């Protein structure tokens, strides 16, 4: 091939690359210029829809573009998550995610990798877990629960809101760290689990605070300890697990936002920074606090690290107890 032809081909290729980069840069600079789809892989209603709308309203206020909350429940969040993975990585499709995202791929086969196939944007908030028990159980502290479980191996039952979910794995992690064996009883949601707990059919349950504070104050349940670094304002007499002698038990449930892998970093950073700004608003913090969520902003890198850390913790529990779901 003559040198002149080679030179012209190279020049044309370089021009095409520059044109592509210029178009991509222009698209990012104009972002967003159309509505954003916000997938939530859960049924409508509840805290997940509430948080998606909260974030969506902030984006609309800041950018003047509608944010459409798209509920895609089913398959333990797999259906909605696959919809995100199939979406164009252009910032116009994002998804609300919960701590289940760090668990699911260790429990069942998924068509996606929980880290490689996503671009983490930011965390929104976190809720600690409270160990609550039926008032008739003769144990009032973490150490007394452990002693009772060791004296009666397999006789204490703990409820969960579903096999393989955070409340199930919290109970299994407690067993692992405390060196005890309590029996898992799965339910189809936190509501039925709470009903049977208050009825004395099961003895223990790990729950987010919003579900149990009223029942503890009324005496229908007793609170043993809470995860995290601080006591609950609503139940200030209840110690943390660290204070109660089990510092390694520090599970939490969190929510955040993901985009498909390959979404331009400039757009990811824009989406993330706005969530950080939103979480400084007193009214937003008050709304989240009202549903038992403590605002917690992590930028994309820190959010990725948080997901990876939870994956490692839950994988250890899942393997130690040979847990799986179909």
Annotate 220-274 with three-state secondary structure.
Answer: CCEEEEECCCCCCCCCCCCCECCCCCCCCCCCEEEEEEEEECCCCHHHHHHHHHH
Looking at the predicted structure, is the pLDDT value of residue 325 above 80? no
Q: What is the pLDDT of residue 9?
A: 47
Closest among 227, 166, 233, 232 to 193, alpha carbons compared: 166
CB-based contact 146:135 (threshold 8 Å) = no
pLDDT of 217 strictly over 80 = yes
The confidence score (pLDDT) of residue 74 equals 83
**What would the pLDDT profile of 134-188 be if each residue is shown by its tens digit?**
999 999 999 999 999 999 998 999 998 877 788 888 999 999 999 999 999 988 7
Domain containing 50: what range? 31-127+253-321
Helices (H), ranges, 279-299:
282-290
Tens-digit pLDDT profile for residues 255-305: 999 999 999 999 999 999 999 999 999 999 999 988 878 999 999 999 999
What is the H or E stretch that residue 308 is in? helix 300-321
Number of domains in the chain: 2
Q: Is residue 24 part of a domain?
A: no
Look at residue 124 and give its three-state secondary structure: strand
Residue 298 lies in a domain: yes
Q: Quick check: 52 pLDDT over 90? A: yes
User: Is 81 in the same domain as 150?
Assistant: no
- Any domain includes 186: yes
CATH code for position 53:
3.40.190.150
For CA atoms 149, 155, 160, 163, give the dihedral sign.
positive
Percent of the chain that is helix, strand, coil (3-state, to 5): 45, 20, 35
**In the structure encoding, which two tokens stand for residue 241, read together?**
């697990």
């Amino acid at each position: 091939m003559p040198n002149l032809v080679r030179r012209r081909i190279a020049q044309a290729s370089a021009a095409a690359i520059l044109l592509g980069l210029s178009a991509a840069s222009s698209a990012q600079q104009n972002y967003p210029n159309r509505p954003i789809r916000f997938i939530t892989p859960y049924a409508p209603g509840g805290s997940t829809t509430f948080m998606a709308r909260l974030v969506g309203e902030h984006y609309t206020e800041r950018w003047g573009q509608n944010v459409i909350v798209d509920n895609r429940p089913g398959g333990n969040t797999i259906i909605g998550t696959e919809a995100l993975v199939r979406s164009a990585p252009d910032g116009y499709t994002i998804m609300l995610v919960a701590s289940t995202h760090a668990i699911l791929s260790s429990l069942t086969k998924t068509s996606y990798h929980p880290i490689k196939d996503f671009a983490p944007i930011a965390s929104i908030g976190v809720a600690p877990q409270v160990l609550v028990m039926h008032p008739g159980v003769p144990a009032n502290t973490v150490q007394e629960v452990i002693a009772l479980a060791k004296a009666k191996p397999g006789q204490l039952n703990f409820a969960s809101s579903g096999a393989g979910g955070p409340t199930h794995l919290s109970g299994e992690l407690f067993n692992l760290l405390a060196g005890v064996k309590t029996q898992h009883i799965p339910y189809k949601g936190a509501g039925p689990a709470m009903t049977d707990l208050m009825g004395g059919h099961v003895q223990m349950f790990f729950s987010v605070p919003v579900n149990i504070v009223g029942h503890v104050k009324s005496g229908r349940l007793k609170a043993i300890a809470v995860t995290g670094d601080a006591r609950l304002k609503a139940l200030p007499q209840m110690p943390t697990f660290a204070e109660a002698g089990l510092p390694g038990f520090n599970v939490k449930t969190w929510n955040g936002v993901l985009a498909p892998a390959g979404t331009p970093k400039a757009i990811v950073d824009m989406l993330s920074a706005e969530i950080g700004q939103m979480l400084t608003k007193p009214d937003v913090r008050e709304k989240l606090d009202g549903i038992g969520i403590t605002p917690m902003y992590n930028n994309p890198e820190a959010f990725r690290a948080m997901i990876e850390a939870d994956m490692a913790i839950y994988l250890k529990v899942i393997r130690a107890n040979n847990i799986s779901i179909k």
